[in-house]
Amino acid sequence: MALVIREADVKSLMNMQDAVTWVEEALRAHGQGKARNVPRSRVKLPKATLHVLPAADLEQGVVGLKFYTTPKGGERFLVVLFSAEDGRLLCLLEADYMGVMRTGAASGVATKYMATADADVLALFGTGKQARGQLLAVAAVKKLKQVRVYSRDPDRRKQFAEGMEAQAGVEVVPKESAEEALDSALIVTTITSSREPLFPASAIQPGTHINAAGSNSLLRRELDEELVRGATVIAVDSRQQSKVESGDLLIPAERGWLDWDLLPELSEIVAGRQPGRLSPSDITIFDSHGLGLEDVAVAAHVYQRAKERGLGQEIDLLF
């Protein structure tokens, strides 16, 4: 019998520390050739878009996909898991909360491997739903002394800071400008829908690590092209996917400032096949778009916990 696992159960079965651990394991497996990932494909329609991300986690013995639609007024996320051994349907999992956790977790893993050891201040750009996961993930891998938050709406950034401080266990301070947020911050995370760079390259100090998580189409840009040009290590989650989705890297690539095929994938860094940084003064960037493998791996762990704890609804479907 397959399980249907609802949002409420997912929230009770995982937290951010779990997500970071599971995503790190999946990326290491991918870097070692023990997992498979297929870049996201999209079916664009006049009033909505269907997004599909297939993958297989061979260590957990599962294959599946996340798919979601983005109509006006909301998004709907679902993960489907099958057994990699016999093809049985294992579960259908509502994946809104899980998606926020795994998207943040990827930045957390990148921060763990690419930021300097003494980095303890985070500048966070964006205060939407995904920003919560980004903050929690960095706080899960670094002992932060402060988070500085900036977004265009002063009321939203104030509310975000007040709501996240107790949840993250760190001081969260809303800032009036990008420059104030960046002052002495050695970790920067951007999670916006901006079409133009959020700050000039000159605002970033040596030794900074940047998680660029908002630009997932060629129409969006969060990073100054000069910042990309000056970075020592630029990691992506998928070279193939970045070529068609990375607004931040398109212009530098077109100008010959970077070679797509030479960019390390985060899984290669986690597996020890590529360095996360070369020196403490390096500027490093993780250009994040999300892998179906991360969704499939996290969903597989949630599924196992649901079975152990008797959660979820059994259904006789494709039995």
* Per-residue pLDDT reduced to its tens digit, 169-201: 999 999 999 999 999 999 999 999 899 999 999
| Whether 207 contacts 115, CB under 8 Å | no
Domain 2-99+293-315 and domain 106-291, same fold? Reply is no
**Model pTM score:** 0.95
Question: Which pLDDT belongs to residue 319?
Answer: 59
| Whether 206 contacts 281, CB under 8 Å | yes
**66 is annotated as an active-site residue:** yes
CATH superfamily membership of 106-291: NAD(P)-binding Rossmann-like Domain (3.40.50.720)
Query: Residue ranges of the domains in the chain?
Result: 2-99+293-315, 106-291
267 Cβ contact partners less than 8 Å away, ≥ 6 residues apart: 27, 28, 30, 31, 237
Angle between helix 129-141 and helix 96-114 axes, rounded to 10 deg: 40
Over residues 265-279, the pLDDT tens digits come to 999 999 999 999 999
Over residues 279-301, the pLDDT tens digits come to 999 999 999 999 999 999 999 99
**If 0-12 CB within 10 Å is exposed, 13-18 middle and 19+ buried, where does residue 114 land?**
buried
Looking at 47, 66, 158, 307, which residue is catalytic? 66
Average pLDDT, the chain: 95
- Choose among 226, 167, 155, 11: nearest CA to 97: 11
Over residues 222-250, the pLDDT tens digits come to 999 999 999 999 999 999 999 888 889 98
Domain 2-99+293-315 grouped into CATH 3.30.1780.10: yes
Over residues 113-160, the pLDDT tens digits come to 999 999 999 999 999 999 999 999 999 999 999 999 999 999 999 999
| Whether 81 contacts 312, CB under 8 Å | no
